[in-house]
A = this chain, B = another copy of it.
C-alpha cells in the first residue's frame, strides 16, 4: 500500500460494498472507519493483481498460493482474533463490541504460527482420519441449532444473529 495507487476508486468502492454486504449478512462488520478500511480494501485488490489471490494486506505473502492459503482474506485467524481482540490482525473486521463502542481496538499480536509450524498444503486434501475424535469443539446455537467447529463460539450466530452467550458446547 506504500506504492503509487493505480486502482480506480470505483473498483475499491465496488469491493468495499461487496465485502460490507457479505460481512453484515453473516454477523461480521467492516471497520467503520471508512477511509482506513478503503485503504485495506485497496491492498486486497493490489494483492489479487500481484499474486492472483487477495492475500492479507498486513502480512508478507510469498506468492506461493499453497503457502499463503491461511492468510488469504478472510484469513484463518480472523475469527479467533475477533473473539479475543475485537478485531482481526489488520482491523479490517471488527466485533460487535468494537462497533458499539464498548471495546477499543488495540495492537493485535500475530497469531499465525511460524512457517515451519503451519499446516501444509490444501486442507481439503489433508483429511483428518475419519472416525477419529474431532480436535476442535463443536458449538451449537441454542436458538436455531447452527453448528460450527472452532476454539470458541462466534460473537454472533451467522444464521439467527443470537449472541455468543447463546451457544453451548455440543461435542
Query: Which single member of B22, B133, B146, B168 contacts A128 (CB below 8 Å)?
Result: B168
Q: Check A14 for interface membership: any CB of B closer than 8 A.
A: no
A131 to B74, CA, bound (A): 31
- Taking CB atoms, residues of chain B closer than 8 Å to A154 are 144-145
25 residue pairs A–B, Cβ–Cβ below 8 Å: A22-B161, A26-B144, A26-B159, A69-B165, A72-B162, A74-B160, A74-B161, A76-B166, A79-B145, A123-B142, A123-B165, A124-B164, A124-B169, A127-B169, A128-B169, A128-B170, A128-B171, A130-B137, A134-B170, A134-B171, A136-B140, A144-B150, A145-B149, A146-B158, A158-B160
A133 to B149, CA, bound (A): 17
- Taking CB atoms, residues of chain B closer than 8 Å to A152 are 124
- Taking CB atoms, residues of chain B closer than 8 Å to A149 are 140, 145, 147, 170
Q: Check A7 for interface membership: any CB of B closer than 8 A.
A: no
Q: Check A98 for interface membership: any CB of B closer than 8 A.
A: no
A-to-B contact residues, CB < 8 Å: 22, 25-26, 28, 69-70, 72, 74-76, 78-79, 122-124, 126-128, 130-131, 133-134, 136-140, 142-150, 152-154, 158-171
